[in-house]
């Protein structure tokens, strides 16, 4: 991203300040990492203060929707009812559910139960029962800004094995978040997440990861958990991405439903758990924008 901006031109970030007193030193620092062979972010994925404000407004809806689902989800409810709650709450707050019609996805939210890894499609025929664990993955568009997070819900009394899976999947986010620092690397986070899951005897799905997000649903970088510290994209203030590892109780293998082409399952039929947060890299660490 060798900048063609003149020192006295207005900065690309929209601050109204001259480039030389705003992001020039920042860009030069990034350039030094690039010259050392690191993957570095372009301006197109570095969020300006205005972008960040827009994403935060969108995330307010996303968080409220997941809170709302948490208050109402219970045994006997169909996943279609969850979809209805998400649609109603999101639109009542002025947002658009991002999954709806996204690459042909037919519903407003993904609901993935037990051995379903992700991208489960809500249905009148899928009824929550005592002992189920379910991921509700919610994404919102507001004024063109995207937010995305997901949570696990435990339905009634859940087995200790499933409870531990859900708990460790949640801890993976905390470990990952601690490793997100400006001028660190995405792989620092990936390795921290990976190591925590594997230390607990679990595996993490490799084919599906998190993503940059903000002005689009899925932006660069792709966010995996099989990377090593010190590798992958340089983290700089203004970068926004999701951390959303899919933690499997058993083997790492997955397959996609060959009828609906969406739902992903564990190959061995054992449960999988996933939490997702949307994170902003700041000057001194990270801020969680949606959870």
Residue 30 token pair: 């990034």
Please choose, out of 34-42, 145-153, 192-200, 256-264, the segment that lies near Co ion by the rule CB under 5 A: 145-153
# chain residues binding ligand MF3, by CB under 6 A: 13
Q: Please give the residue whose beta carbon sits closest to ligand MF3 in the complex.
A: 99
- HEC per residue, 51-66: HHHHHHHHHHHHHHHH
Stretch that binds ligand MF3, among 68-76, 96-104, 164-172, 190-198 (CB under 6 A): 96-104
CA 10, chain centre distance (Å): 33
* C-alpha dist (Å) from residue 117 to 111, 134, 174, 244, 253: 10, 10, 20, 11, 10
Residues 264-283 that bind ligand MF3 (CB under 6 A): 276
Can residue 291 be called a binding residue for ligand MF3 (CB under 6 A)?
Answer: no
The count of residues interacting with Co ion (CB under 5 A) is 2
In the list 27, 83, 132, 148, the residue contacting ligand MF3 (rule: CB under 6 A) is: 148
Of 90, 227, 242, 274, which one interacts with Co ion (CB under 5 A)? 242
CA 61, CA 63: separation in Å to the nearest integer? 5
Q: Give rounded-to-5 percent helix, strand, coil for the chain.
A: 30, 25, 45
| Contact pick of 139, 191, 272, 278 for ligand MF3 (by CB under 6 A) | 139
Position 148 contacts Co ion (CB under 5 A): yes
Q: What phi and psi values does residue 278 have, to the nearest 5 degrees? A: -110, 125
Strand partners, 260: none
- Interface mask (CB under 6 A) for ligand MF3, residues 191-230, using x and -? --------------------x-------------------
DSSP β-ladder status, 286-290 and 277-281 = antiparallel
Whether the Cβ atoms of residue 221 and residue 233 lie closer than 8 Å to each other = yes
* Partner in contact with 232, chosen from ligand MF3, Co ion, none, beta carbon below 5 to 8 Å by kind: none
Of the residues 47, 119, 162, 175, which one makes contact with ligand MF3 according to CB under 6 A? 119
Using DSSP, state whether 242 is helix, strand or coil.
Answer: strand
Q: Summarize as ranges the residues that interact with Co ion (CB under 5 A).
A: 148, 242
Q: Summarize as ranges the residues that interact with ligand MF3 (CB under 6 A).
A: 99, 102-103, 105, 110, 119, 137, 139, 148, 211, 242, 244, 276
């Amino acid at each position: 991203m060798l900048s063609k901006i003149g020192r006295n031109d207005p900065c690309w970030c929209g601050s109204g300040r001259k480039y030389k007193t705003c992001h020039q030193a920042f860009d030069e620092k990034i350039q030094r990492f690039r010259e050392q062979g690191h993957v570095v972010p372009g301006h197109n994925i570095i969020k300006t203060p205005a972008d960040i404000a827009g994403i935060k407004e969108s995330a307010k809806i996303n968080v409220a929707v997941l809170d709302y689902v948490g208050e109402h989800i219970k045994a006997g409810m169909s996943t279609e009812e969850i979809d209805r709650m998400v649609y109603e709450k999101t639109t009542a707050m002025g947002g658009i559910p991002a999954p709806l019609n996204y690459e042909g996805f037919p519903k407003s939210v993904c609901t993935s139960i037990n051995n379903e890894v992700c991208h489960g499609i809500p249905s009148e025929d899928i009824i929550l029962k005592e002992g189920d664990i379910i991921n509700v993955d919610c994404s919102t568009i507001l004024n063109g800004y995207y937010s995305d997070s997901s949570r696990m819900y435990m339905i009634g009394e859940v087995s200790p094995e499933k409870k531990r899976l859900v708990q460790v999947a949640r801890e993976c986010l905390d470990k990952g978040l601690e490793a997100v620092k400006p001028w660190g690397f995405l792989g620092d986070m990936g390795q921290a997440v990976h190591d925590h899951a594997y230390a607990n005897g679990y595996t993490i799905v490799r084919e599906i990861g998190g993503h940059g997000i903000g002005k689009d649903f899925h932006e660069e970088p792709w966010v995996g958990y099989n990377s090593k510290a010190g590798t992958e994209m340089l983290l700089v203030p203004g970068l926004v991405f999701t951390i959303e590892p899919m933690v499997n109780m058993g083997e790492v293998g997955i397959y996609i439903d060959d009828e609906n082409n969406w739902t992903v399952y564990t190959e061995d039929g054992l449960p999988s758990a996933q939490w997702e947060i949307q994170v902003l890299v700041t000057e001194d660490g990270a801020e969680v924008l949606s959870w």
